[in-house]
Copies of this chain bind each other. A is one copy, B any other.
């Protein structure tokens, strides 16, 4: 018990957390992880709440506090309560502050993108047609193989879905057009193409869709507006209007739709 008082600052707390978290049994590690990801909650929660969040018993959480060097939860909580008096206003005031006060600092920029992302997410629920979404899920669920194509700015979305499908044992293939290779011969009857493209639309993607569409292969499209060139082919279209800030588009809403599709298809298949 050389450690009379636990960490006295948040920084010391984090160091101790890191140092300790290497060698921790299962439950206590859960505590460490949850705490690391939710430091702000400590100040305003009860042990019971923290324990539930971490998925452990209150007593386990207590033990964790002691390992961190505190006498108990209360003492740990005190550290966080004290350091954050004078602390944080709510989201909107904070945002306002950042925008005005810290003009053209990276943090102000972050605030702008966060706001753009939020706006995009909000409009997502409005722009996505539930029937189209259901149709897309149904089509993808029946596919023997899902061929994902998305290049340039859409590539992150395509690779994301590819990863998600793999994790859920949904047969999917990412067409990356590396070295101008064009694997369209891999696409066979019973397969489905999932095309992702946003303005300015990659010709490769459009060409691929055109080709397979002519062969009667179903196409599900993730695109932006109603004027997307993919509309011409009878694809099931899900449109996302992303609020962009400057020339750059944060893909918040698009990825949100992507994960939804992935999970929906994954469960539909296994169910």
Contacts and interface: CB of A to CB of B under 8 A. Distances in A.
Given A102-B268, A156-B163, A263-B98, A110 B85 contact: no
A182 interface: no
Interface string A12-47: 001001100100000000001100111111011100
Interface stretch (A187-195, A201-209, A245-253): A245-253
Contacts of A84: 40, 43-44, 88, 90
Given A125-B114, A255-B250, A256-B113, A263 B241 contact: no
Contacts of A256: 110, 113-114, 117, 250, 252
Contacts of A255: 156, 250-252, 255
Instruction: Count chain B CB atoms within 10 A of each CB in A92, A153, A260 and give the residue with the most.
Output: A260
Contacts of A67: none
Q: By DSSP majority rule, is chain A's interface helix, strand, loop, or mixed?
A: helix
Q: This chain: how many copies in the complex? A: 2
Given A98-B263, A256-B113, A17 B248 contact: no
Interface residues of A, number: 98
A152 interface: yes
Given A87-B40, A106-B260, A226-B36, A252 B117 contact: yes
A201 to B, nearest CB: 12
A60 interface: no
Contact of A17 (B227, B249, B267, B271): B227
Nearest to A158: B156
Interface of A: 10, 14, 17-18, 21, 32-33, 36-41, 43-45, 52-53, 55, 81, 83-92, 94-95, 98-99, 102-103, 105-107, 109-111, 113-114, 117-118, 121-126, 128, 130, 133-134, 136-137, 152-153, 155-157, 159-160, 163-164, 167, 199, 224-227, 231-232, 241, 245-253, 255-257, 259-264, 266-268, 271
Contacts of A264: 102, 106, 109
Contacts of A122: 91, 114, 118
A40 B106 contact: no
Contacts of A38: 85, 241
